[in-house]
Structures are given as C-alpha cells and as structure tokens.
C-alpha cells in the first residue's frame, strides 16, 4: 500500500486549460501539504490543510486552489494554466506538523504546460 | 537568498570515497531534518536532529546539528552508487518549515 499517492504522475496540457491533481494518504496523518519543486530542485510549500482548515497559504496565485473533501484527501486544482506553472508538484502529509517525524511525500506529478 | 543554503550544489565522486554535505543558515532552528530524493520520487526522511551538537548515525551516514542550531552536516563514509540522489536539509523556525537548496550527489561505480 502506498502511503501517499498522487495522480497523475505526468500531466501535459496547453496554456489556459484547467487541471486537477489528486492526493490521498492512508497514514492517518492530520495535516496534508502541496509543494512545488522548480527546475532547480527547490521545494517550496504552497498549501497545508489540517482538519479541513487551511493553515498555511503562501503567496501563490489564486489560480491554484486546494480542495480537501476529507482528512485523507487533498486535491490541487489549477485554473488558466501558464507556462511558468510547469514544475513537479508533491503532495505530503505529517502527523506533528513535520517538526520531528517529518513529512511523507508522494512520488510527484510532473506538470508540463505547452 | 534562501534561508537554508546547502553546499556543494553538485558532487560527483567515485565509489568508496567519503564526502560531507553542509546546510547553513543565519537563523536558529527548533529542529532540522535531512531527506534523500531519488529521480522520479518524492523526498524520504533520513533523520531529525533537535539538540545543538547532536550527532546521529544511520549506517554509513553521520548527521550533526551545529551547537548553535544554525547549521548541520551530513557525512557519508565509503559512498556507494545507491547513495546517489538529491539530499535536502529542512528546518523549522516557529511554525514555518523550509527546505534547503539541495545537493545533488552522484556516486560513480
């Protein structure tokens, strides 16, 4: 069983389209996150959800919207995709804010906007 | 300027060599973690250090947290091709969590 699973693994789409990435965790963790990894491999947090409540919202464009139907799922919806959105997006979860037990990451979704 | 700077950015060594990767900051952290990320996968937690001066060993990997809790090092002894990957430090200050700039390690058989 995969602890944190996200789909799709690869996503190629045209500028202006709307797309979603799904994430599910079966670890029973309280908090889930979305991270963006750029071409230089730098990881930057986008959102986190704790008990269906957004607790971190970094300065990301409002074209990005997280949606959490329940504690085990955190989906990422992106409107009006732009070339600069091309990156690898990682879903993650933690049981203590990640401070000691760390984050468990999914295997990533490589988004390419053409 | 990133909060957590790692050096070197890239490292290519022969199998059997030793290496050290550094993670530096001007900020004080409550805890610091090291992750390894393999191509096509997400980062995987290797260790968490919380006490200044703390040293932890994981087989051939030795992690040290600086006395002032501002920096850390990762030392690998007798590197193997399976150690190849992107090494990331990560740390929290208050309720903010940050990842380092990364060190890409290639171990050549």
Which 3 state secondary structure label does DSSP give A85? helix
Q: For residue B1, what pLDDT band results from cuts at 50, 70 and 90?
A: low
- DSSP per-residue letters across B18-46: -EEEEEE-SS--SEEEEEEE-TTS--EEE
Q: For residue B45, what pLDDT band results from cuts at 50, 70 and 90?
A: very high
A97, A103, A107 member nearest B45 (Cβ): A103
Residue A54's pLDDT is what? 81
Q: Average pLDDT for consecutive 10-residue bins of chain A (114 residues)?
A: 92 98 95 93 90 75 91 95 97 86 95 97
Enumerate the residues of chain B whose CB falls inside 8 A of the CB of residue A98.
33, 90, 92, 97
In chain A, the DSSP E strands lie at 4-7, 10-13, 19-25, 31-37, 43-50, 53-57, 64-70, 73-78, 87-94, 104-105, 109-113
Closest CA to B63 of B95, B93, B31: B31
Residue A14's pLDDT is what? 97
Distance from CA of B79 to the nearest CA of A (A): 22
pLDDT digits (tens, 9 = 90+) for B54-80: 999 999 999 999 999 999 999 999 999
Residue A75's pLDDT is what? 96
Do the Cβ atoms of B41 and A101 come within 8 Å? no
Distance from CA of B42 to the nearest CA of A (A): 5
Cis peptide bond N-terminal to A14, omega within 30: no
Enumerate the residues of chain A whose CB falls inside 8 A of the CB of residue B31.
99-100
Q: Are A74 and A52 in contact (CB under 8 A)?
A: no
pLDDT digits (tens, 9 = 90+) for B24-43: 999 999 889 999 999 999 99
Q: How far is CA A64 from CA A46, A47, A57, in A?
A: 9, 10, 11
């Amino acid at each position: 069983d995969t602890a944190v699973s996200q789909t799709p693994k690869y996503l190629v789409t045209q500028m202006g389209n709307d797309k979603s990435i799904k994430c599910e965790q079966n670890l029973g963790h309280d908090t889930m996150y979305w991270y963006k990894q750029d071409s230089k491999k730098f990881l930057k947090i986008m959102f986190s959800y704790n008990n269906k409540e957004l607790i971190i919202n970094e300065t990301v464009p409002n074209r990005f919207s997280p949606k959490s139907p329940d504690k085990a799922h955190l989906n990422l919806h992106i409107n009006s995709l732009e070339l600069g959105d091309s990156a690898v997006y990682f879903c993650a979860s933690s049981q203590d804010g990640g401070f000691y037990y760390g984050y468990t990451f999914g295997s990533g979704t490589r988004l390419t906007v053409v | 300027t990133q909060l957590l700077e790692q050096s070197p950015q890239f490292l290519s060594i022969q199998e059997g060599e030793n290496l050290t990767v550094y993670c530096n900051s001007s900020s004080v952290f409550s805890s610091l973690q090291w992750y390894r990320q393999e191509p096509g996968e997400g980062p995987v937690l290797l260790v968490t250090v919380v006490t200044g001066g703390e040293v932890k060993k994981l087989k051939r990997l030795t992690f040290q947290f600086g006395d002032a809790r501002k920096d850390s090092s990762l030392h690998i002894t007798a590197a193997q091709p399976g150690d190849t990957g992107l090494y990331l430090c990560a740390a929290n200050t208050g309720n903010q969590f940050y990842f380092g700039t990364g060190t890409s390690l290639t171990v050549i058989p």
